[in-house]
Amino acid sequence: MKNKVKVARIEKGNLTQGELAKLVGVTRQTMNLIEAQKYNPTIRVCLIISRHLERPLDELFWIED
């Protein structure tokens, strides 16, 4: 799974990982792992990230074929 969370976070007003993590309800370390594609978040976390970054879910997360 690839994601564009880091790019969207920066474009959203240069939110820090910590700020987005707090909004989402996860730790900064978890957000770091999500952005580094070393952790696959639950659909609930993906939806919350999508809502806070104001981006469609399929724009932020997708599965490679």
For 5-62, how does the pLDDT look when each residue is reduced to its tens digit (9 = 90+)?
Answer: 999 999 999 899 999 999 999 999 999 999 999 999 999 999 999 999 999 999 999 8
40-51: burial string, b at 16+ Cβ within 10 Å, e else: ebeeebbebbbe
Where exactly are the structural domains of the chain? Answer: 2-57
Report the top-level CATH class of 2-57: mainly alpha
**DSSP character for 2?**
E
pTM of the model: 0.90
Q: What pLDDT was estimated at residue 2?
A: 77
Q: What pLDDT was estimated at residue 44?
A: 97
How far apart, in Å, do the first and last CA atoms of the chain sit?
9
